[in-house]
């Protein structure tokens, strides 16, 4: 989970590299196209892990509940001249599955 958060946070620095990482760590049945992962997004400011279930060395599935804070610095062409950056939080319960020894993001419920 933390590595996927970091990849999202650094996406703007090297979109090809970090989008490829996100694509590789996403379960095939729910994974978007690689080109859809390179679009610019918000600036991620922090990650707080709320809870986890399973996900240990003897498990094949697990969940991570987290809250990630962000700031959307979209320019005036998007929100209008003089608009302040939008700050927000993403609260999600993510589901992961282990395949061939690697954890893959399956999907999540946003609250």
Burial of 29 (0-12, 13-18, 19+ CB in 10 A): exposed
Phi, psi for 27 (deg, rounded to 5) = -60, 135
- Per DSSP, 10 falls in state T
Residue 8 is part of which domain span?
2-110
- Per-residue pLDDT tens for 58-99? 999 999 999 999 998 765 555 566 678 899 999 999 999 999
CA distances from residue 23 to 56, 75, 92, 95, 96 in whole angstroms, order as listed: 23, 28, 19, 16, 14
Number of domains in the chain: 1
- Per DSSP, 26 falls in state B
CATH of the domain at 51: 3.10.450.50
How big is the chain, counted in residues? Answer: 111
- Per-residue pLDDT tens for 6-35? 999 999 999 999 999 999 999 999 999 999
């Amino acid at each position: 989970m933390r590595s996927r958060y970091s990849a999202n946070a650094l996406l703007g620095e090297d979109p090809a590299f970090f989008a490829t990482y996100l694509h590789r760590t996403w379960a095939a049945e729910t994974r978007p196209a690689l080109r859809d992962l390179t679009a610019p997004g918000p600036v991620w400011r922090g990650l707080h892990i709320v809870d986890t279930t399973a996900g240990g060395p003897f498990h094949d599935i697990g969940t991570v509940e987290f809250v990630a804070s962000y700031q959307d610095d979209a320019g005036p062409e998007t929100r209008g001249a003089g608009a302040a950056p939008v700050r927000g939080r993403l609260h999600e319960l993510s589901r992961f599955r282990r395949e061939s020894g690697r954890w893959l993001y399956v999907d999540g419920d946003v609250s």
